[in-house]
Structure 1
């Protein structure tokens, strides 16, 4: 059942040719948004490229009576990110929602992780969030300064790997942790321009996670597939709509029918000597503080 919660809005979704991005694009369109579908059409490791996936999603949206346009630029480059935002403005005359979702994996244990694999993953995930966000916010700032303060929304995509760490994914985890920090900074800096910035940490079965969730590939007997990407999209649609007014700088974990507000670093037990510690004193005080502190959650994949 649709409600038209995004009627009149224009949304941009990166990495929207498959998986979560595709589900988000279709859900936004179903709720009345006009959608820019960005996808390079690359493989799981970021190599190759084809326009087919984005075009197919555009065709799906149009077949269902919606409005959409494809964009095949590399959003981790200044020109590609600029053209992404320009496509929304030139095609639909406005921009209201940006969903940063594009990414790929090159998993290695740290001792086997080479510099190219580190740079490639950081580039697409973290830089691929920063550049579209920068260009979108520059547009919204100009609108606000012209007296047309928008109800703008940004939804970034982090991961449990970025919140807790994940064995064999040092590059991916670092990028996703960086996205959380970027989200917090952007939310604080752009609120004066009518922009809200939040992040989701989704768990769903996609090309990137099919090995992780291989044991959930079979259709459930009760008809509810908890790992379907479509389960994540309702929260994205709501965060991308005007109905989410006042919600910014937050991180949500979402999977199946579950939504969790993630609470980040907060001060825990503290000791203050009022003077400089000796190393032995610092160690003794630290051990006492750790005994009082909560035990951190385990890193994904740790034994």
Structure 2
């Protein structure tokens, strides 16, 4: 039973029994190598499957990424289009709102401008009325001031006229008084001058005959003394009031008539030597 069992065993066992002993050691060492080669072959096949799987995965991912990129690009284009449409619509809506607001503002501005124009016209009319009233007030005050000034000027002119008339009247009175005094002075001066001429002629006439006979200086008779006054009259003393002399001298020097006792009534001088002839009534 043992022989049959050995003859009927697996072929590896029969081969191992048939090999020599030193080869049996190599066979035992080569078994793991074969197993490792088988394992490595299986691993290479697995790696090849993994590579294929990764390639497929990469391709699938690339396709997915491309589809996602296309879908994203399409979505972005759609979003951009919708944004553009929304922006355009919003811009149009803003334009419409702006136009409506501008129209409303223009209408309000026109209404405000019309209201402002009406208020300006009313204010201008009010200013014109106030200016006219103020002008009338100023004109009235000016007329009153002018009338007062004219009245004051009339009163001042009347006062000046009266003052001038008083001054003129005083000047006339002064002139009349002065004229009277001047005429009186002239009369007195002419009277004194006539008396001097008469006395000089009288002295010369009384001295000439004596000079021919006995020319003595102490024998000459002096003329009568007098003092002129402002009235042109001779002083009326006790001797002058009672003295009255009349001298008549005839000769080459002429004749002289003299009265003393008040005023000199008449003086007549006539001479040929001095070449003088006068006839005065004082």
TM-score, with structure 1 as normaliser: 0.13
Q: Which has the higher helix share?
A: 2
Q: Which has the higher contact order (CA 8 A, sep 6+)?
A: 1
Q: Which has the higher strand share?
A: 1
